[in-house]
Amino acid sequence: MCGIIGYAGTKRVDKVLISGLKKLEYRGYDSAGLAFITNDNNLEIIKSVGKISKLEEKVNKSNIQFGNVGIGHTRWATHGIPNEINAHPHTSGKVSIVHNGIIENYTNIKEELQSKGVTFYSDTDTEVACAYINYIYETEKDKIKCIQKACKHFRGSYAFGIIFEDDKDSIFVTRRDSPLIIGISDGENFVSSDVSAFLSYTKKYILLDHNEFAKVSSNSVLIYNDNGDLLNKEINIATWSDTQYEKNGYEHFMLKEIYEEPLVLKNIFNRYLNDISYLKDVDLSIYNNIHIVACGSAMHAGLVGRYLFETYANIPVTVDVASEYRYKNQIITDQTLVIIVSQSGETADTLAALRVAKSKGATVLAIVNVLGSTITREANIVIYTYAGPEIAVATTKGYTSQVAILATLAFEISRKHLTLDEKNKIISEMNNIQNILNYVLLKIEEYKDIAKSIYKKEHLFFIGRGIDYSMCMEGSLKLKEISYMHSEAYPAGELKHGTISLIENKTPIIAIATNKNLYEKTISNIKETKARGAFVIFITNEELDTTGDFYDIKLVLPTSTDFLQSLSVVTALQLISYYTAKERKCDIDKPKNLAKSVTVE
Ligand code: G6P
């Protein structure tokens, strides 16, 4: 989703802003732009629709004498189509602005300003915010106070990067809900939606909190609270390095991130299996019900968690998508544990769900990848996945690392119900996860063959029962996201209640059967589809491997306990999606219409 970069220093501003925008590309966008001060002290704007490379071309062709202060933006369209007029930065009077978020009451403000004679050119809420700040600036010449006054009028979420025509040395920033970080260096400072945009220049950063306001110049960063008090904020050091944002020889970030999974998961189990200090003295046994709340793949990780908590710890669990949970009647008691799952830690709906749960008195445990993200700052307990930066829009190591943490937690809560043998088996598998996944990665040719068998189809179904069904959900989403094939996941036993009418000659079905107790039942359901002409890709594990005439292609994966089986199956499904999208010549790392970090509702 929208990305912000800002720079005040001594380097040529266009170079720093373009390199920052390239790092923010992964968030998802459809247009981009820059506003900067030129060497002869003019404020200039350059925008373009499409890739950053097009903006860069425009910048390179211009004869402008670029200065050293400016702001840049990647826009993911919300209000108005992706065109140059709607692209950021927007300008009104003396103010230029870039924005991430949504100003919900922009229509009223627009009418108010129109009645005062202000003309608007774009369809965006951002231009309205810009015009409003400019309007306040006519009477309030203190820039921080002006922005504060304007923000009091805005409803919704925002991170703003602002430059004023009459202050050629500074960028002004503030945020409410949408992320914004300030990068600190000697003689130059940065602002950005995430650290990736300035990591090649500095690792030092300050996290701006809600309703804080900053004036960022080359030699100073002044941060104020809502009352105008000057704050002394902590400087953090980023642990992620710039090279982690490179493909390092892989054709796509998605492939690189899949190949990182064995090590990421090994590290998770090493770190958390025998050390529960991360729970900060919270006794998990006091909770008799759990709500898992998340979006997208993180919600699918929650489904695996639900299966494990219910099956092994005997605790009732609900799993909700955050956009639904936040508006329903959440039934929370003092024995409810709310588990929030989010790779980015910034997803707007997930953050709102966290706040609702907290306001109702729940203890909130968050499973998050991005250090210092907003969700980590608001949850009661945080468990980091430490998966490293994930750049491909479709999550891979993000998902498996969330499952690994949930499996560790479920194991911890279930210990008293498990026999010594069961415990030893799970621990030994957790310790061996790197080898298990490396073995799954060896089957590349099989994944490519499966991809070749399905890539020309437009419709596909995933079926499975129990925990296999939750793997189907994630496999199906992955395929949709990056290959644009229509795919649906169904509980195998439910297909006959309607959807089986869609099965025709050669309709592809990916059927997953790794669960011993449900295996026979799933095979019966697969046979029902085969009898109607389906082309069946059968995925099972070594223990249950069988031959028969109910499948066309068989993929046999290593056998694991329920706690870990989804890790190897979903890794295989990620690779099947990857090679299918490749056959279909899709833009794998940046699928159309999708954003990595969804910071609007
Ligand atoms: C977006 C991404 C998905 C992700 C979801 C939740 O839709 O494209 O891959 O699963 O957001 O993101 P989060 O950062 O909260 O895990």
Query: Ligand 1: which residue has its CA nearest to atom 8?
Result: 596
- With the most atoms of ligand 1 within 8 angstroms of its CB, the residue from 347, 402, 403, 405 to mutate is 347
255, two tokens: 């492939």
- With the most atoms of ligand 1 within 8 angstroms of its CB, the residue from 596, 597, 601 to mutate is 596
% residues pLDDT > 90 (the chain): 87
- Rounded to the nearest angstrom, the distance between the alpha carbon of 89 and the centre of ligand 1 is 26
- In whole angstroms, what is the distance from residue 578 CA to residue 350 CA? 27
Let me know if 196 is exposed, middle or buried by CB neighbors in 10 A (0-12, 13-18, 19+). Answer: buried
- In whole angstroms, what is the distance from residue 360 CA to residue 355 CA? 9
Helix (H, G, I), strand (E, B) or coil at 350: helix
Contact 455, 583 (CB under 8 A): yes
Short-list 38, 34, 37, 41, CA closest to 17: 34
> What is the 3 state secondary structure string of 171-202?
EEEEEECCCCEEEECCCCEEEECCHHHCCCCC
- pLDDT, tens digit, 9 for 90 and up, residues 75-102: 988 888 889 999 999 999 999 999 999 9
Ligand 1 neighbourhood includes 342 CB (under 6 angstroms):
yes
Which atom, in ligand 1's list, is nearest to the CA of 28?
Answer: 8
- In whole angstroms, what is the distance from residue 332 CA to residue 499 CA? 35
- In whole angstroms, what is the distance from residue 98 CA to residue 447 CA? 43
- Other Cβ atoms less than 10 A from the Cβ of 194: the count is 28
- pLDDT, tens digit, 9 for 90 and up, residues 139-193: 999 999 999 999 999 999 999 999 999 998 999 999 998 899 999 999 999 999 9
Ligand 1 neighbourhood includes 193 CB (under 6 angstroms):
no
Give the chain's largest Cα–Cα span: 80
**pLDDT for residue 595:** 83
- In whole angstroms, what is the distance from residue 581 CA to residue 576 CA? 9
Ligand 1 neighbourhood includes 300 CB (under 6 angstroms):
no
Give the list of residues 6+ apart from residue 580 with CB closer than 8 angstroms, or none: 450, 451, 454, 455, 479, 483, 485
Which atom, in ligand 1's list, is nearest to the CA of 594?
Answer: 8
- In whole angstroms, what is the distance from residue 534 CA to residue 549 CA? 12
Ligand 1 neighbourhood includes 347 CB (under 6 angstroms):
yes
Contact 143, 160 (CB under 8 A): no
Let me know if 223 is exposed, middle or buried by CB neighbors in 10 A (0-12, 13-18, 19+). Answer: buried
Short-list 323, 11, 3, 66, CA closest to 195: 3
- Rounded to the nearest angstrom, the distance between the alpha carbon of 393 and the centre of ligand 1 is 8
For the question of residue 586 being annotated catalytic, the response is no
For the question of residue 94 being annotated catalytic, the response is no
Q: Which residues of 544-561 are buried (b: 16+ CB within 10 A; e: fewer)?
A: beeeeebbebbbbbbbbb
Query: Ligand 1: which residue has its CA nearest to atom 2?
Result: 596
- In whole angstroms, what is the distance from residue 393 CA to residue 296 CA? 12
**pLDDT for residue 242:** 82
Which atom, in ligand 1's list, is nearest to the CA of 294?
Answer: 15
Range from 226-235, 339-348, 574-583, 591-600 carrying the lowest mean pLDDT: 591-600
Contact 205, 179 (CB under 8 A): no
Reading across the β-sheet that carries 289-294, which strands appear in turn? 317-321, 289-294, 336-342, 363-368, 381-384
> How many alpha carbons lie under 13 Å from residue 501 in its C-beta half-sphere?
3
**pLDDT for residue 159:** 96
489, two tokens: 């996941």
- Rounded to the nearest angstrom, the distance between the alpha carbon of 299 and the centre of ligand 1 is 9
- pLDDT, tens digit, 9 for 90 and up, residues 319-376: 999 999 999 999 999 999 999 999 999 999 999 999 999 999 999 999 999 988 999 9
The residue to which tokens 């900067």 are assigned: 36
Give the list of residues 6+ apart from residue 304 with CB closer than 8 angstroms, or none: 403, 406, 407, 467, 470, 471, 566
Q: Global pTM?
A: 0.89
Short-list 380, 305, 215, 242, CA closest to 562: 305
- Rounded to the nearest angstrom, the distance between the alpha carbon of 597 and the centre of ligand 1 is 6
Ligand 1 neighbourhood includes 295 CB (under 6 angstroms):
yes
Ligand 1 neighbourhood includes 343 CB (under 6 angstroms):
yes
- In whole angstroms, what is the distance from residue 324 CA to residue 320 CA? 7
The residue to which tokens 């309030």 are assigned: 140
77, two tokens: 């369209």
Chain centroid to Cα 405, Å, comes to: 17
**pLDDT for residue 174:** 98
- Rounded to the nearest angstrom, the distance between the alpha carbon of 275 and the centre of ligand 1 is 28
Bridge partners (DSSP) listed for residue 189: 8, 184
448, two tokens: 């490519």
- Rounded to the nearest angstrom, the distance between the alpha carbon of 318 and the centre of ligand 1 is 19
- Average pLDDT (231-236) is 95
Ligand 1 neighbourhood includes 598 CB (under 6 angstroms):
yes
Short-list 478, 449, 476, CA closest to 555: 449
The residue to which tokens 């997803």 are assigned: 347
What is the enclosing helix (H) or strand (E) of 25?
none
- Average pLDDT (481-499) is 94
Query: Ligand 1: which residue has its CA nearest to atom 5?
Result: 296
Query: Ligand 1: which residue has its CA nearest to atom 15?
Result: 342
Q: Which residues of 80-106 are buried (b: 16+ CB within 10 A; e: fewer)?
A: beeeeebbbbbbbeebbbbbbbbbeeb
Phi/psi for 229 (5° steps) reads -75, 140
- Average pLDDT (305-320) is 96
Residue 3 reports pLDDT greater than 70: yes
Ligand 1 neighbourhood includes 407 CB (under 6 angstroms):
no
Ligand 1 neighbourhood includes 298 CB (under 6 angstroms):
yes
Query: Ligand 1: which residue has its CA nearest to atom 7?
Result: 296
Domains assigned to the chain: 2-244 (3.60.20.10), 253-583 (3.40.50.10490)
Ligand 1 neighbourhood includes 19 CB (under 6 angstroms):
no
**pLDDT for residue 185:** 97
How big is the CA angle at 13 (ends 9 and 18), to the nearest 5 degrees? 130
- pLDDT, tens digit, 9 for 90 and up, residues 463-475: 999 999 999 999 9
- Rounded to the nearest angstrom, the distance between the alpha carbon of 321 and the centre of ligand 1 is 11
Phi/psi for 174 (5° steps) reads -155, 165
Let me know if 331 is exposed, middle or buried by CB neighbors in 10 A (0-12, 13-18, 19+). Answer: exposed
Long-range contacts of 12-16 (CB under 8 A, 24+ apart): 12/66, 12/68, 13/37, 13/66, 13/67, 13/68, 13/69, 13/70, 14/59, 14/66, 14/70, 15/66, 16/190, 16/201
% residues pLDDT > 70 (the chain): 100
Reading across the β-sheet that carries 171-176, which strands appear in turn? 90-92, 95-103, 156-164, 171-176, 213-216, 221-224, 230-231
Chain centroid to Cα 252, Å, comes to: 17
- pLDDT, tens digit, 9 for 90 and up, residues 246-304: 898 999 999 999 999 999 999 999 999 877 777 766 788 899 999 999 999 999 999 99
- Other Cβ atoms less than 10 A from the Cβ of 72: the count is 32
- Average pLDDT (476-494) is 96
Query: Ligand 1: which residue has its CA nearest to atom 4?
Result: 296
**pLDDT for residue 287:** 93
Average pLDDT, whole number, for the chain? 94
**pLDDT for residue 280:** 66
Ligand 1 neighbourhood includes 393 CB (under 6 angstroms):
yes
**pLDDT for residue 277:** 73
- In whole angstroms, what is the distance from residue 527 CA to residue 504 CA? 14
- Rounded to the nearest angstrom, the distance between the alpha carbon of 126 and the centre of ligand 1 is 24
- Rounded to the nearest angstrom, the distance between the alpha carbon of 396 and the centre of ligand 1 is 11
- pLDDT, tens digit, 9 for 90 and up, residues 195-232: 999 999 999 999 999 999 999 999 999 999 999 999 99
301, two tokens: 């990780």
Identified catalytic residue from 397, 478, 530, 596: 596
Which atom, in ligand 1's list, is nearest to the CA of 300?
Answer: 10
- Rounded to the nearest angstrom, the distance between the alpha carbon of 280 and the centre of ligand 1 is 27
Ligand 1 neighbourhood includes 369 CB (under 6 angstroms):
no
- pLDDT, tens digit, 9 for 90 and up, residues 361-419: 999 999 999 988 999 999 999 999 999 999 999 999 999 999 999 999 999 999 889 99
